[in-house]
Amino acid sequence: MIRIIGTETACGTTSGAASNFNKTKAVRLFNSGTAVHLVTLEKANGTDIGTISLNAKASVVLRKSSTDKIFAANVAVLGAPVAFHY
């Protein structure tokens, strides 16, 4: 289970617009669009850690370091800071 700890917002679409989502260690991503979109996780300095493709209308919770940032190929990808609730 997850606990919502912030407001859902559109992901930035460039490395320069990437967000660390208030330095949370987990982000729920939702692709509100009708196409698959690429999501990139990067270090605070802009070095890519990895990418995933997020299907249309799909969601995933991505664990990350507090300083890692996320951006997506399209603003249809929304992110919300979350925490794990056990």
pLDDT tens by residue, 42-80: 999 999 999 999 999 999 999 999 999 999 999 999 999
pTM check: above 0.85: yes
Report the alpha-carbon distance of residue 58 to residue 65 in Å, rounded. Answer: 23
C-alpha torsion sign, points 55, 42, 78, 28:
positive
